[in-house]
A and B are shown apart, each in its own frame.
Chain A
Amino acid sequence: MPLSAPSLTDVVTVLCIALILAVPFAIAGLCLINTGLGRSRSAAQMMMCSLGVVAVAALVYFAIGFAWQGVPGGPAYYFAVGGKPWNWIGAERLFLRGVPLDISSPSLSVWLGIFSVGLAAIIPLGSGADRWRMSAAALSTILLAGFTYPLFAHWVWGGGWLEQLGANYGIGQGFIDAGGSSTIHCVGGLTALSIAWILGPRRGKYARDGMPTAIPGHNAVYVTFGCFLSLIGWIGLNGAGSILMAGVDPGNVVLIAVNTILCAVSAGLTAAIVTRVRFRKPDASLSVNGWVGGLVASSATCAFIRPPEAVIVGLVAGGLVTFSVEWFELRLGVDDPGGAISAHALGGLWGVLAVGLLGRMGVAGTGSHAQLLAQFVGIATLLGFVLPLTYGLNWALDRVYRQRVEPEGERQGMDLHELGGGAYPEFMTHDEPFERGL
């Protein structure tokens, strides 16, 4: 069955291509952020691991991922309940057979999808930094790119049951996520939470009495530069996602870009101010997490809110991420070196919720209450289905193939243990001060 989707004009096609070309900057930015927030002795492994998971994600998505994600109106598997169809998984052909790979909308969706799944696969690396084996990360990525991501992306972007909540059940316009707050970032962030739980904390992170020790990132320059790269990538991601996945009028591209920027800067600034007030000096790591949290929250909302509301979304995201990083570390004992859980999972949930609270869909007869309900159904699906699914898959993987590096490897550093050499061979290596006395 041929793929069906609305055709694009030449101008819109060129615009989409330009936007999609910017998306790898988001991947590069997250790689730098994850690397900079980890230890220097794991920097090369983190960058190599990032390349590896992006490659694995792209190949798996090419082989099976897109077939299960599908496009709206394309072939899919349904089951009927009460006479209404529940579209639960795509039924395209494997290995992209049947996709014309021209400049049509489904083809551009495939291209964007390859980058999107790579971005989702990068996220758990932040929470598994300094202790996640490269081979295990690659295997985990197969599960993410081959099953978890395509399944949820089909529900939201591929004509699945969440997207159809409006048409089938009259719940607003169905679940809405223009740029991937849920499909990319919540899926990646919830996987990051699962990985952090399964791996356990880094050696030396918690003292015998359970109190956490600060292990600062090794390169603030990477981290902050990563923020600027991410901003470029997110403008592309949000713009292309809104047009191709959510069917937003391409004339809104400037609004989308402005909202993305305002969300990021207000969230980053909020985090800097909050940490300045609480700790007397702005914290670079938390400010960066806030910035990324703002970007993540912007993804769902960017096409449906006005700029003043984008500032509000960013303010909330910045505050939320700042406090949740501390909450995860202190209260829950979750060691997340890159802040991936807070920035991506919680930032994404907030973005999805903000669509229901602040979004203006512009369709008569759909009250904001109904749209808020649709967004809550999506949030319930993320917490009640995606989190147990990704945790279960990674737990099962860990039972057959241990994901955490051996104690000796962690002591040596991931660079030396897994790659045989460090990222900074000319630098002198010092004893790790965080492990003394433990």
Chain B
Amino acid sequence: MLAGWILVLAAVEMLSALGARSAFVAAGIAVEVTGLVLVIRSHPAPRGFED
């Protein structure tokens, strides 16, 4: 997720054309969403508690 954000920052800093910036920002958000999915999967599905 952090990598996606850095990609977005790099797009803001290094690109000037609106189209290219938009494409890289979209790519960065896609990386973030992938990271989010991985985080979600890393949390085990809850089961009933044993008392």
Interface centre among B1, B18, B28, B49 (most CB of A within 10 A): B49
User: How many Å from the CB of B51 to the closest CB on chain A?
Assistant: 7
Question: A424 on the interface (CB 8 Å rule)?
Answer: no
Bound complex: CA of A407 vs CA of B50, how far in Å?
10
A337-388 interface with B by 8 A CB criterion: 369-370, 373, 376-377, 379-381, 383-385, 387-388
**Within the assembled complex, what's the spacing in Å between the Cα atoms of A165 and B18?**
13
User: When the two chains form their complex, are residues B36 and A383 in contact, meaning their CB atoms are under 8 A apart?
Assistant: yes
Indicate if the CB atoms of A377 and B46 lie closer than 8 Å: no
A384, B25: Cβ atoms under 8 Å?
A: no
Q: Please, which residues of chain B bring their CB within 8 A of the CB of A383?
A: 1, 4-5, 29, 32-33, 36
Which has the most chain A C-beta neighbours within 10 Å: B32, B33, B46, B51? Answer: B46
In the bound complex, what is the Cα–Cα distance between A438 and B51 (angstroms)? 8
Given contacts A380-B32, A384-B32, contact A438 B49 (CB under 8 A): yes
Does the CB pair A380–B29 fall under 8 Å? yes
Query: Chain B residues with Cβ under 8 A from A377's Cβ?
Result: 8, 12, 25
Segment among A47-55, A203-211, A267-275 that sits at the interface with chain B: A203-211
- Chain A residue nearest to B19 (CB atoms) is A369
- Residue of B with least CB distance to A335: B46
Expressed in whole angstroms, the Cα–Cα distance for A208 and B33 within the complex equals: 30
A169 to B28, CA, bound (A): 18
- Residues from chain A with Cβ under 8 Å of B18 in the complex: 369-370, 373
- Give Cα A332 to B49, complex, Å: 17
Are B49 and A171 in contact, with the CB atoms below 8 A? no
Contact partner of B45 among A82, A197, A204, A210, CB < 8 A?
A: A210
Q: Give bound CA distance, A373 to B11, whole Å.
A: 11
Asked if B2 and A376 make an inter-chain contact with CB atoms under 8 angstroms apart, the answer reads no
Q: Chain B contacts of A165 at CB under 8 A?
A: 12
Task: Determine whether A307 belongs to the interface, using a CB cutoff of 8 Å to chain B.
Answer: no
CA distance A332 to B44 in the complex (A): 9
Residues of A within 8 A of B25 (CB): 373, 376-377, 380
A38 interface residue, CB < 8 Å from B? no
Cα distance A379–B6 when bound, in Å? 13
Q: How far is the CA of A169 from the CA of B12 in the complex (A)?
A: 7
Report chain B residues within 8 Å CB of A208.
47-48
Whether A200 is near chain B, meaning CB under 8 Å from some CB there, is yes
The 5 A-B residue pairs whose C-beta atoms are closest, nearest first, are A384-B5, A206-B46, A208-B48, A380-B8, A438-B48
In the complex, given contacts A171-B12, A407-B51, what are 17 additional A-B residue pairs having Cβ atoms less than 8 angstroms apart? A82-B14, A169-B12, A169-B13, A171-B21, A201-B46, A203-B49, A204-B48, A208-B47, A333-B45, A373-B25, A377-B25, A380-B28, A384-B4, A384-B32, A385-B2, A388-B2, A438-B48
21 contacts between A and B (CB under 8 A): A82-B13, A84-B13, A169-B12, A169-B13, A206-B47, A210-B45, A210-B47, A373-B25, A379-B29, A380-B8, A380-B29, A381-B5, A383-B5, A383-B32, A384-B3, A384-B28, A385-B5, A387-B1, A388-B2, A407-B49, A411-B51
